[in-house]
């Protein structure tokens, strides 16, 4: 008759006293309780690998790990062995995975992504993205392992932004988190981009209409205000160039001297700075070149045409032009920094009679040739040079006279 295995009981375990040397109490299936001279009791399991090597697993201390739970761990290990896997190796792999997960936090992955993709963004955009992460994202999910982040974690983060009225930014941050998580997926650090589950979870951002002066007489008053503005020299120059060039405010304030050829009267803005991600060429009128030569005397030693007043390592603040307009008495409901584009678009078309396709091209909007192909940055350059000079001359005329005379393009 086969001998029955004698299993441990809780009473035996509690009654086991320490001895001068460690000893064990078997429970069957290779598992035993080890009692140390200090009195500590630890569950372990011994087994032999196919290569003959003796291996030992540790299930944890008693009573933190009860007899019942220790047996469950033993049975799971036996099942793994029966399936041809090594429980000890599985534990090592799990520990390595857990360590990697704890190390690869969202913040760490985000910094790696920022560095890897920095060349694809303008410096101003890089600053904005970094600011969003530091102020809005990292405090909420920065320390979480990227593999542990769930849709609700990202949603809670962007809903805080939504609650304070930053709806546009909240949508941008959702997309930003998605880009970082897709980078993590490609790096094998997580399974999926959980932000895809958040589409439609935020309020729809209201359509933004930038206030702009589009009536010539009011434009003349604005030009006279700009002409007599007495703020910081950098701000004065940027403000005077805004109507002449009508580029996006971010493109103007982040302009670099390396992009500008004053002798050729050209400003070549790289694709990384442009909304459409296409290189853009801005012909410079005589008036624009004169302003820029004056600025060069002040900031020619900096990489930025308009460096920050506080540090030359950064460009001018995004609020500089807006603050100048407000100080001249123009509220956000009347004129904005972005409004110079609408002013140029409307007056050049409706008053000056300029070709709409040339205006749109100079605004860096998508313009296609008769064959449906996008024009390159130098398309119609001679005609655009003449148009930009006529526009500067027209603005000068508005500034110098209260009488607005209709202008017809040649």
CATH numbers and ranges of domains, the chain: 10-102 (3.30.160.390), 106-198 (1.10.150.130), 216-400 (1.10.443.10)
In this prediction, residue 177 carries a pLDDT of 95
> So what's the pLDDT on residue 181?
95
Q: What is the pLDDT of residues 61-74, one digit of tens each?
A: 999 999 999 999 99
Catalytic residue among 41, 280, 338, 384: 338
Q: Say what the pLDDT of residue 410 is.
A: 41
Nearest to 395 by CA among 215, 220, 248: 220
pLDDT score at 367: 63
Instruction: Look at 294 and 7; give whichever has higher pLDDT.
Output: 294
Q: Which of 249-263, 298-312, 389-403 has the highest mean pLDDT?
A: 249-263
Give the confidence band of 167 by pLDDT, cuts at 50, 70, 90: confident
Categorize the per-residue pLDDT at 314 as very low, low, confident or very high, splitting at 50, 70 and 90: confident
- Tell me whether residue 209 is one of the annotated catalytic residues: no
Find the catalytic residue in 174, 253, 341, 345.
Answer: 341
| pLDDT more than 70, % of the chain | 90
Which entry of 74, 183, 248, 273 is annotated as an active-site residue? 248
Q: Say which residue, 267 or 6, is predicted with more confidence.
A: 267
Is 338 annotated as catalytic?
A: yes
pLDDT score recorded for residue 99: 63
Per the residue annotation, which of 23, 224, 375, 385 is the catalytic one? 375
Q: How confident is the model at residue 88 (pLDDT cuts 50, 70, 90)?
A: confident
- The tens digit of pLDDT for each residue in 374-403 reads 556 667 899 999 999 999 999 999 999 865
pLDDT digits (tens, 9 = 90+) for 221-233: 999 999 999 989 9
CB count within 10 Å of CB 77 equals 23
Confidence (pLDDT) at 84: 80
Tell me, what's the pLDDT at 98?
64
Q: Is the pLDDT score of 333 beyond 70?
A: yes
Average pLDDT over residues 189-218: 85
**Mean pLDDT confidence for 159-170:** 88
Q: Write down the pLDDT at residue 141.
A: 94
- Please state, rounded to an integer, the average pLDDT across all residues of the chain: 87
pLDDT value of residue 354? 92
Looking at residues 296-313, what average pLDDT do you find? 88
Tell me the CA end-to-end span of the chain in Å, nearest whole number: 116
Residue of 53, 192, 227, 275 marked active site:
275
pLDDT-based confidence at 32, cuts 50/70/90? very high
For residue range 338-385, list pLDDT tens digits in order: 999 999 999 999 999 999 889 988 998 866 555 555 556 667 899 999
Report the distance separating Cα 313 and Cα 260, nearest Å: 19
Q: Is the pLDDT of residue 1 over 80?
A: no
390 is catalytic: no
What mean pLDDT comes out for the span 190-218? 85
Rounded distance between C-alpha atoms, residue 170 and residue 157, angstroms: 9
Q: Is 248 a catalytic residue?
A: yes
Q: What is the pLDDT of residue 210?
A: 80
**Which residue(s) pair with 374 in the sheet?**
368
Beta-strand runs (E) in 365-408 = none
DSSP code string of 262-298: TTTTEEEE-GGGSTTSS-EEEEPPHHHHHHHHHHHHH
Question: Catalytic site residue 399?
Answer: no
Check residue 41 and give its pLDDT.
94
Q: What is the DSSP string of 96-149?
A: HHHHHHHHSBHHHHHHHHHHHHGGGS-HHHHHHHHHHIIIIIHHHHTTSBGGG-
pLDDT confidence bin for 2, thresholds 50/70/90 = very low
How far is Cα 271 from Cα 94, in angstroms, rounded to an integer? 45
Q: Bigger pLDDT: 289 or 126?
A: 289
The mean pLDDT value for 234-251 works out to 94
Interval 101-141: pLDDT, tens = 567 899 999 999 999 998 887 777 888 899 999 999 999 99
Q: How far apart are CA 339 and CA 342, in angstroms?
A: 5
Task: Look at residue 292 in the predicted model and tell me its pLDDT.
Answer: 97
37-41, 102-106, 158-162, 212-216: least confidently modelled range? 102-106
pLDDT of residue 246: 94
- Is residue 229 annotated as a catalytic residue, yes or no? no
CA distance 275 to 376: 15
Q: Coil, strand or helix: which one is 167?
A: helix
Q: In 3D, which of 309, 143, 326 has the Cα closest to residue 225?
A: 326
pLDDT of 369: 54
């Amino acid at each position: 008759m086969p001998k029955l295995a004698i299993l441990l009981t809780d009473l035996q375990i509690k009654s086991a006293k320490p001895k001068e040397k460690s000893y064990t109490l078997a429970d069957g299936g290779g598992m035993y309780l080890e009692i140390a001279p200090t009195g500590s009791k630890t569950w372990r399991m011994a087994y032999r690998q196919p290569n003959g090597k003796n291996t030992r697993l540790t299930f944890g201390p008693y009573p933190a790990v009860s007899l019942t739970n220790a047996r469950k761990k033993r049975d799971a290990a036996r099942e793994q062995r029966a399936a041809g896997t090594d429980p000890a190796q599985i534990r090592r792999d799990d520990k390595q995975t857990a360590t990697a997960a704890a190390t690869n936090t969202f913040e760490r992955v985000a910094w790696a992504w920022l560095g890897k993709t920095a060349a694809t963004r303008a410096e101003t955009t890089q600053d904005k993205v970094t600011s969003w992460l530091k102020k809005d994202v990292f405090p909420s999910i920065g320390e979480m392992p990227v593999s542990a982040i769930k849709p609700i974690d990202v949603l809670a983060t962007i809903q805080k932004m939504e609650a304070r009225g930053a709806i546009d930014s909240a949508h941008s941050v959702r997309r930003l988190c998605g880009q970082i998580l897709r980078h993590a997926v490609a790096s094998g650090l997580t399974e999926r981009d959980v932000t895809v589950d958040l589409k439609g979870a935020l309020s729809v951002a209201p359509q933004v209409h930038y206030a702009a002066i589009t009536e010539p007489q009011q434009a003349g008053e604005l030009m006279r205000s700009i002409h007599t503005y007495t703020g910081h020299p950098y701000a004065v120059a940027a403000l005077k160039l805004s109507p002449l060039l009508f580029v996006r405010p971010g493109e103007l304030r982040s302009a670099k001297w390396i992009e500008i050829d004053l002798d050729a009267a050209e400003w070549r803005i790289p694709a990384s700075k442009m909304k459409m991600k296409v290189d853009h060429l801005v012909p410079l009128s005589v008036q624009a070149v004169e302003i820029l030569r004056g600025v060069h005397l002040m900031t020619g030693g900096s990489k930025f045409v308009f460096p920050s007043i506080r540090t030359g390592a950064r460009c001018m603040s995004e609020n500089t032009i807006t603050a100048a307009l407000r100080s001249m008495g123009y509220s956000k409901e009347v004129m904005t920094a972005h409004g110079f584009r609408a002013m140029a678009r409307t007056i050049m078309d409706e008053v000056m009679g300029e070709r709409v396709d040339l205006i749109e091209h100079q605004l860096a909007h998508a313009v296609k040739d008769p064959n449906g192909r996008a024009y390159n940055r130098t398309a119609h350059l001679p005609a655009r040079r003449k148009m930009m000079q006529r526009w500067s001359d027209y603005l000068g005329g508005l500034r110098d006279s209260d009488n607005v005379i209709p202008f017809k393009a040649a």
